[in-house]
Amino acid sequence: MSEAMTSAEAGPETAEDAGTGSGDGAGGAVDAPAAAAPLGVDREATGLPAVDALLERLAEADHLPAEGHLAVYEDVHRGLGAELTTLDAHPASAPRPHDPRS
């Protein structure tokens, strides 16, 4: 049996093997992820206070690491869904005065 292994037998490449290291030739250092930074996306007011508050909540994700984004996005998604549900609900019609037309 041959001692040379195929790439499938060797397993997945590591960051060092794939050349994603720091590029300084040290062979052991891998670049750290970039720090959280605001995306600079402008948010326009909708005129609906509850929706505007939820959109402002999205700004919190700008200062969180990527792992924290999901919780913020899910919270805003739930809130926007609830607001849409209230918009779809028709208000109860007020009782009409009796107007007999005979």
Q: Are 17 and 27 in contact (CB under 8 A)?
A: no
Q: Are 21 and 29 in contact (CB under 8 A)?
A: yes
* Segment 1-24 mean pLDDT: 49
Q: Are 23 and 30 in contact (CB under 8 A)?
A: no
Read off the pLDDT of residues 59-86 as tens digits, 9 standing for 90 and up: 888 888 888 899 999 999 999 999 999 8
Give the Cβ contact number of residue 54 at 10 Å: 19
pLDDT of residue 26: 53
Least confident range from 18-22, 56-60, 97-101: namely: 18-22
Percentage of the chain exceeding pLDDT 70: 61
pLDDT of residue 65: 86
Of these ranges, 11-15, 46-50, 84-88, 89-93, the one predicted with the greatest mean pLDDT is 46-50
Gap between the Cα atoms of 33 and 17, Å rounded: 18
Q: Are 73 and 59 in contact (CB under 8 A)?
A: no
* Segment 35-56 mean pLDDT: 84
Task: Answer with the residue of higher pLDDT: 55 or 92.
Answer: 55
